Amino acid sequence: MKVRVLGCSGAISSGPVAANDAGGTTALLVDHDIMIDAGTGVAVLTDDELARVDHVFLTHSHLDHIAYLPLMIDAVGDARDAPLIVHASRATLDILQAHIFNNLIWPDFTRIPSPQAPGVRFKALEVGERITLNERTVAALPARHTVPSMGFAVSSETACLAFSGDTTTNPAFWAAISALPGLRHVIVETAFPDAQIKLAHAAHHYCPSLIADDVRGVEMKAELLISHLKPPHGAQILDELRAALPGVSLRALRSGEVLIL
């Protein structure tokens, strides 16, 4: 199983962020057919690559994680012979239906070209549930954000990657991933430096001290990959994380890198 990082920035950026070419906002491609979040990082895919994506798993409804979802459905609909399946919590799917696919912001592709053969189908997936797709399992993990949110664990037969999605202080996430067999990588957001901890609390994001409080005492041998760095604070955030988590293997996630599981 291959996980390709299409985008991992906490904001759109045209240049390097702390030696981390974060590029577009959050989107991960698992093999060729599964996507986790659909932020602006999706723009690096060709039409042929877009047409091969059959499943999109959404952590939450914020624009930096869904921006390209409506566009990709429209762009490659003629090249597909089956609807794109979007997996998210029922609350997130209701938000998408009410505020995106509402024939005001974007056409309702859950009903066109026809209700019998739509461009997209919604399938609810709640925290604690999982789905298996061709020997790969995607499990929904707890997250705490300003809107209904979740993380995901993606497992092959031999290894596992966990992704926090957007979250703030969240011991339940770390407890859940510590029980995952074969865990190799944990992608966790850290949007703000500690100097902005009040903003982190208000926006329900992590800063280094909040992650350190959650990780302390957790048995975890996996590599910690930091995403969602807000320009221009990336270098500072990474320095603070290394100081707060001595002995933990961590680095910035990079746009374009491929993780092999």
At 183-236, the pLDDT tens digits run: 999 999 999 999 999 999 999 999 999 999 999 888 888 999 999 999 889 999
Does the CA dihedral 52-54-59-63 come out positive or negative? Answer: positive
| Tens-place pLDDT, residues 105-141 | 999 999 999 999 999 999 999 999 999 999 999 999 9
**Topology of 7-260 in CATH?**
Metallo-beta-lactamase; Chain A (3.60.15)
Per-chain mean pLDDT for the chain: 94
The runs of H, that is alpha helices, within the chain are 47-51, 63-66, 69-76, 90-99, 171-178, 197-203, 208-215, 234-244
The mean per-residue pLDDT over the stretch 91-108 comes to: 98
- Per-residue pLDDT at 18: 44
Domain boundaries, the chain: 7-260
- To the nearest 10°, the Cα dihedral for 30, 33, 38, 39? 60
Residue 19 has pLDDT above 50, yes or no: no
The pTM is what?
0.96
Q: Which of 261, 259, 257 is nearest to 19 (CA)?
A: 257
Largest CA distance in the chain: 56
Residue 14 has pLDDT above 90, yes or no: no
- Per-residue pLDDT at 231: 85
| pLDDT band for position 23 (cuts 50, 70, 90) | confident
Q: Helix, strand or coil for residue 133?
A: strand
